């Protein structure tokens, strides 16, 4: 089946339907650069009273024979399209567009976002999800509203452009052409984004054909939700009047150190209270969330986290997971040492099964079904059936996330609490035993630990791990390193003895999950540590502008604006999402500030905007060298 990307732009006197067919086999995960249609097709309505003609309407209906690919199509593009196909004119479509956007900002009395169905019902739009539609926003983040432009910046799209005119502008003919070109760039971003999730799309299609449920526009957790709804015959989420919970820990969690005994006692006595949204933790505004210097949220729910020190190593334990607190540290093994990383295989699913964790309203039926799904996945993995194994992994891992979702049929706060804290305290049992045996644990996270092991300690280390597996029922898998360099627990570079690396966060090459700035600096540090190549050589020899890009996003209103000196009145608006490079050209460079108040945006001084990626000859190489040397200093 053909795949066609769709985007719609709406103004008071102009509606643009733009689409482009990009593949003739949308569910083939080997799709790379196949281009079916080089130019986009458009339908334009160019006055407030204009509506679709009979031919235009038929042309759009024919697109439904393709798989439609959108970004936020479920709650914007498809309702707009539906309304237009049913005879609405431009003025009416614009009103619907404004209501959809404004409704997304509204909250009810309990602080929850109002359902988009409120708007759709108001306009009598009886919208049914079409079968062959892939909403990339849902696939990537389960509906989390990350801007498409932000993904474009992360993927280093050649031309990054924000909406050229305010949404309430009556456009001239010339401006309509500008918007058309802008929309074409949006389609390019959508197409590139689709290329990066073809595996996920193929897995969803495979599950659809296997289970008879359309998963194309569902997140991983939503897939688990839909499957359980079908098999268990449950339509609505349970209602829990109880707001206060206490954790129920398995019998084997026991400690020798007084500090850990006290920690366990405090965790068991703690009252965990649901907030207004039905989740554990206090009600907080977005601006109250704290981040560290690398952009990671510091603590999810402060009042439900505990700190513990075990032999000079500090840890945070709580609903958000177990995390060691190392920062800016490097560990390099000598000839008598090795770094051994032990991760628990399918940790949360194993806890659910081993401890019979079951949503109260589902009873034993849940455990029977969940165990069957896990066993089917493991059998497929043993038999080399990667497609089935990967599909079932989505379901198995997505189930846990629904324990804490008040709108899910799997919702049970007690299950969520028990699984997370059982996981963290079980790992602390392993950490304590290793430390008491003289084996240094250097890092830990939600599902594993890393220890610095002397050769004469290795037999004892392995025996301790096997004993832990025996009494917990979990399985550990192993990876060895000769060095570990950490900015924080979620930003590190681990080097294997063959020179290969495991990376996370800033050192990772993953494009979509996080912003990655001045990647050439991290690459230079990596090349120095792995291959002993001088940092300066890597940076000064780099000819790819992408390695020098820094990106940003205005999340609290206003837009980014590029100014030279104090000339705010003549600044150039860049938009909500922006990117730049550091420049050594004093005549060209300036600062990026907030358009509404002129406040300086983070890191954006002495820069040149790079909204369109071009070969730039005035890169401030000494600036990037200084950044890279600072990173190296932090981790060695």
Burial of residue 454, with CB atoms counted within 10 A of its CB: 0-12 exposed, 13-18 middle, 19 or more buried: middle
Helix (H, G, I), strand (E, B) or coil at 429: helix
| Residue 86: φ, ψ to 5° | -95, 15
pLDDT of amino acid 441: 96
The structure tokens listed for 407 are 């709108």
Report yes or no: 528 and 599 within 8 Å, Cβ to Cβ: no
Q: Percentage of the chain surpassing pLDDT 70?
A: 91
Domain with CATH 3.30.420 in the chain: 3-218
With residue 567 as reference, give the H or E element that holds it: none
β-pairing, 323-324 vs 329-332, is: unpaired
**Class of the 3-218 domain?**
alpha beta
pLDDT tens digits, one per residue of 511-555: 677 778 999 999 999 999 999 999 999 999 999 999 999 999 987
Report yes or no: 22 and 37 within 8 Å, Cβ to Cβ: yes
The structure tokens listed for 13 are 């006197």
The structure tokens listed for 458 are 């290795």
Q: What is the mean pLDDT of each run of 10 residues along the chain (636 residues)?
A: 93 96 77 57 96 94 91 91 94 94 64 68 75 89 72 91 91 96 93 88 86 84 85 85 90 95 93 85 48 40 76 88 88 95 94 94 90 87 79 84 90 94 96 97 93 96 98 95 92 90 86 83 95 96 96 85 83 93 96 90 95 94 97 94
The structure tokens listed for 631 are 């990173």
Lookup result for tokens 């200093």: 633
pLDDT tens digits, one per residue of 44-72: 999 999 999 999 999 999 888 999 999 99
pLDDT of amino acid 566: 75
With residue 623 as reference, give the H or E element that holds it: helix 621-635
DSSP 280: B
pLDDT of amino acid 105: 62
Angle between helix axes 220-232 and 198-211 (nearest 10 degrees) is: 0
CA distance 145 to 96: 19
DSSP 634: H
Burial of residue 535, with CB atoms counted within 10 A of its CB: 0-12 exposed, 13-18 middle, 19 or more buried: buried
Please count the residues of the chain. 636
With residue 461 as reference, give the H or E element that holds it: helix 458-472
CA distance 38 to 17: 17
CA distance 254 to 237: 35
Lookup result for tokens 């001088």: 534
For the CA atoms of the chain, what is the radius of gyration? 27
DSSP conformation letters of 344-407: ETTHHHHHHHHTT---TTTTHHHHHHHHHHHHHHHHHHHTT-HHHHHHHHHHHHHHHHHTT-TT
DSSP 75: I
pLDDT of amino acid 540: 97
Report yes or no: 516 and 508 within 8 Å, Cβ to Cβ: yes
Count Cα atoms within 13 angstroms, Cβ side, for 502. Answer: 14
Of 470, 438, 468, the residue nearest 456 (C-alpha): 438
Give this prediction's pTM: 0.85
> How many other CB atoms are there within 10 angstroms of residue 105's CB atom?
8
Q: 3 has which bridge partners?
A: 23, 67
pLDDT of amino acid 112: 54
Which CB contacts under 8 angstroms, 24+ apart, belong to 628-634?
Answer: 628/520, 628/521, 628/522, 628/524, 628/525, 628/535, 628/539, 629/535, 631/487, 631/521, 631/522, 631/525, 632/525, 632/528, 632/529, 632/535, 634/328, 634/487
């Amino acid at each position: 089946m053909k795949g066609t990307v769709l985007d719609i732009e709406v103004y008071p006197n102009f509606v643009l339907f733009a689409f482009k067919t990009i593949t003739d086999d949308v569910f083939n995960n080997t799709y790379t650069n196949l281009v079916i249609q080089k130019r986009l097709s458009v339908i334009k309505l160019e006055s407030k009273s204009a509506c679709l003609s009979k031919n235009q309407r038929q042309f759009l209906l024919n697109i439904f024979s393709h798989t439609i690919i959108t970004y936020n199509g479920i709650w914007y593009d498809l309702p707009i399209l539906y309304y237009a196909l049913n005879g609405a004119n431009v003025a009416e479509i614009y009103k619907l567009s404004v209501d959809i956007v404004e409704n997304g900002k509204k909250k009810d009395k309990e602080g929850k976002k109002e359902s988009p169905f409120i708007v759709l019902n108001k306009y009598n739009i009886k919208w049914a999800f079409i079968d062959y539609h892939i909403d990339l926003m849902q696939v990537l983040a389960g509906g989390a509203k990350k801007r498409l432009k932000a993904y474009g910046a992360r993927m280093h799209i050649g031309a990054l452009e924000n909406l050229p005119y305010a949404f309430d502008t009556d456009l001239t003919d010339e401006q309509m052409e500008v918007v058309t070109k802008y929309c074409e760039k949006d389609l390019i971003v959508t197409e590139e984004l689709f290329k990066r999730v073809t595996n996920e799309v193929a897995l969803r299609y495979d599950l659809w054909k296997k289970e008879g449920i359309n998963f194309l526009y569902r997140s991983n957790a939503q897939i688990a939700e839909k499957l359980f709804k079908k098999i268990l015959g449950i339509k609505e989420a349970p209602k829990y009047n109880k707001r206060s919970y206490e954790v129920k820990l398995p019998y084997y969690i026991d400690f020798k150190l007084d500090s850990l005994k006290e920690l366990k006692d405090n965790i068991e006595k703690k009252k965990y209270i649901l907030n207004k949204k039905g989740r554990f933790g206090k009600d907080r505004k977005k601006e109250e969330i704290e981040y560290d210097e690398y952009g990671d949220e510091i603590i999810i729910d402060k009042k439900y986290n505990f700190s513990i020190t075990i032999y000079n190593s500090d840890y945070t334990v709580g609903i958000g997971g177990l995390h060691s607190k190392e920062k800016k540290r490097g560990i390099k093994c000598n000839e008598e040492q090795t770094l051994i990383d032990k991760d628990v295989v399918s940790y949360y699913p194993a806890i659910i099964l081993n401890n019979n964790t079951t949503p109260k309203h589902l009873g034993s039926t849940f455990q029977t079904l969940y165990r069957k799904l896990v066993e089917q996945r493991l059998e497929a993995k043993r038999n080399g059936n990667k497609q089935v194994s990967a599909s079932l992994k989505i379901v198995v891992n997505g189930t846990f996330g629904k324990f804490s979702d008040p709108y899910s049929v799997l919702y049970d706060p007690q299950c969520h609490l028990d699984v997370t804290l059982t996981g963290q305290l079980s790992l602390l049992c392993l950490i304590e035993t290793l430390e008491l045996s003289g084996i240094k644990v250097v890092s830990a996270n939600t599902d594993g630990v890393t220890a610095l092991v002397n050769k004469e300690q290795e037999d004892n280390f392995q025996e301790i791990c096997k004993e832990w597996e025996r009494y917990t029922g979990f399985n550990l898998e192993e990876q060895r390193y000769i060095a570990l360099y950490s900015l924080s627990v979620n930003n590190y570079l681990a080097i294997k003895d063959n020179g290969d690396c495991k990376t996370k966060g800033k050192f990772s090459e993953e494009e979509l999950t996080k912003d990655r700035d001045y990647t050439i600096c991290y690459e230079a540090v990596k090349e120095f540590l792995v291959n002993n190549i001088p940092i300066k050589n890597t940076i000064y020899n780099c000819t790819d502008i992408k390695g020098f890009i820094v990106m940003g996003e205005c999340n609290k209103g206003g837009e980014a604006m590029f100014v030279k000196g104090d000339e705010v009145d003549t600044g150039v608006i860049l938009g909500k999402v922006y990117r730049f490079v550091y420049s050594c050209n004093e005549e060209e460079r300036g600062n990026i500030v907030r358009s509404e108040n002129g406040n300086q945006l983070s890191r954006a001084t002495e820069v040149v905007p790079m909204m369109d990626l071009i070969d730039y000859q005035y890169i401030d190489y000494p600036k990037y060298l200084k950044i890279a040397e600072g990173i190296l200093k932090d981790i060695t």
